[in-house]
Structures are given as structure tokens and as C-alpha cells.
Amino acid sequence: MAEKQLEQTLVLIKPDALKNSITGFIFSQLSELHTGARFAATKIVNVSRLLAEEHYVEHKGKPFFEPLLDYIMGKAHYSEENKWKRRVIAIVYLGDGVLDRIRALAGPTNPHQAREERPGCIRSLGTVVPLKDKDGKNIGERLDNLIHTSATTEEAEREIKLWFVPHDIPPMMRVCPTEICPTHYYYKEGRLYDTYEPGSMLLLAPGDMVWKTDLEILRSCGTGECKKGRLNTVAAKYLINRVKV
């Protein structure tokens, strides 16, 4: 397990950064030289709706929720013809004071504000897109701000455990506790099964390493006390890149 004094944070390099080839600049800004942070894990993710909904769960029901999902899923920047390009780079950084260091380099969430207050920061290269409903009425704006960074220690833990499974991260760099799964778990349309059902997907098998909190949720589902939303939080990460989106 990683040293307790070290913080962890999640960074997502979003589809607009990939489309505009800003990844090299972002990686250079977030290098160990600038942040003191070390890579703990990284992966290329074809973001499913399930994963997108869980990442932005606090915005569910708001007028801009659907455009936000389209953004992180890559639909806002890549057409159906180029949907194979829709992806996000997810990264776990580990280091002393990494939350504040990386957020400072990212800059304010709104790109316009970032250019005014922190010229040269990563998000100063982003843009703001007006959002309208089907009748042309303005319902808000989409912040194409290139990257996501965790805001707090609690948020970082939730997000890392949403985008990564334990074996994505080297043992000496894992911060969150894990357990070994004792049984089979299958998932289909928001429901959990302990044996295979036609059309279901295997989430975990005996011997698999799992986040301790995930196993607690799955066990509660077995007793009928699990809410669908909590189950989806677990399922989203174990289905990453396993089905076409």
C-alpha cells in the first residue's frame, strides 16, 4: 500500500483535448518535474453511458446532464462515422499535495475565467459552448475545459474506484483497501446474479481482487438491500472496454 501521507487524484484527459492534440502539453504540465506527482495508473477508456452517468451522478436531472454525458462520451466532438475515436485518458497520480498542485495547473473550471485569472494554465486553452433545447431556448453552457481533476480527497477516492479496478494500480501504489472476491457476480440491466443468465456479463469471479467497498455493495445486493444506483457504480468499472459503446 502507498505511504499514507501521499495523496491520490484522478485526472481525465477529455475528448476535446484528444481531438485538438493537446495531450502532449497536458502531460508535460502534469509531469513529476512540475507537480511532484507520479503515475500510479493510466488507461484509455471508451466511455459507456453507464460510466458517464456514474461519474456525473451529482448532475443527474439537470438540464445540461445529457449534453454533459455526450461530452465525456466523445459524442460532442466525434461523429458517428468517427465514433471509434471517442475516448478518454484516465490517470491516477500519487504524490504529496497532489490534489492542490494539479488543480492549480489545471486552472478554473470555466475556460473563459481560466484565461482571465490563470493565463497559460491548461484550461485556458478550452472553450465554452452555448446549449439550447429543441426549441432553440438557451438552457446553459458546456464547458469544454480539456481535463477533469478531483477536487477533494473523498472525491478522488470515489472517482479512482469508479474508473480503475485494483489490479490497474501497482500494489505499492494502491491507497484504498482491497479484498479477494469469494464468488461469482454477473450483471444484466441493473440487476445482479450469482449464476450466469443469458445476456449477463461476468463482473467478478472467485479469486479476483476487488475494492473492499465494491464487495460490500455486492454483498448488500445479495441480501436485497442494494439500490440500483450503488450497483451501477460497481458495475461501471468492471465493464470498462468490454462492450462496444
Nearest to 45 by CA among 88, 1, 76, 103: 88
Do 13 and 146 form a contact (C-beta atoms < 8 A)? yes
pLDDT over threshold 80, residue 223: no
Task: Give residue 198's domain range.
Answer: 178-238
Q: What is the per-residue pLDDT across 64-86, written as a single tens digit (0 to 9) for each?
A: 899 999 999 999 999 999 999 99
Residue 244 belongs to some domain of the structure:
no
The pTM is what? 0.92
- For Cα atoms 113, 91, 73, give the angle at the middle one, nearest 5 degrees: 70
Whether 220 and 155 map to the same domain: the answer is: no
Whether residue 2 is contained in a domain is answered as no
Query: Which CATH number belongs to the domain containing residue 93 in this structure?
Result: 3.30.70.141
148 is catalytic: yes
CB atoms within 10 A of CB 113: 16
- Assess whether 21 and 120 both reside in one domain: yes
- DSSP helix/strand/coil, 56: coil
Q: Are residues 123 and 193 in the same domain?
A: no
**pLDDT > 90: what percent of the chain?**
80
> What is the secondary structure of 90-120 as a DSSP string?
EEEEEETTHHHHHHHHH--SSHHHHHHHSTT
Which H/E stretch holds residue 158?
A: helix 153-163
110-114, 124-128, 185-189, 218-222: least confident range: 218-222
Residues 57 and 138 both lie in one domain: yes
Mean pLDDT (the chain, rounded): 92
H helix or E strand, kind and range, residue 216: helix 212-222
pLDDT at 63: 83
Q: What count of other Cβ atoms lies within 10 Å of the Cβ of residue 200?
A: 16
**What three-state secondary structure class fits 151?**
coil
Q: Which of 77, 148, 167, 184 is catalytic?
A: 148
User: In 3D, which of 175, 163, 212 has the Cα closest to residue 55?
Assistant: 163
Confidence bin at 105 (pLDDT 50/70/90): very high
* One domain for residues 50 and 139: yes
Domain boundary among 155, 173, 191: 173
My answer on whether 183 and 136 are in the same domain is no
If asked whether residues 15 and 113 sit together in one domain, one would say yes
Residue 212 and residue 108 share a domain: no
- Answer whether residue 186 is part of any domain: yes
Same domain for 150 and 192, yes or no, is: no
pLDDT of residue 4 exceeding 60, the answer is no
Kindly state whether residues 40 and 133 are assigned to the same domain: yes
Q: How many domains does the chain have?
A: 2
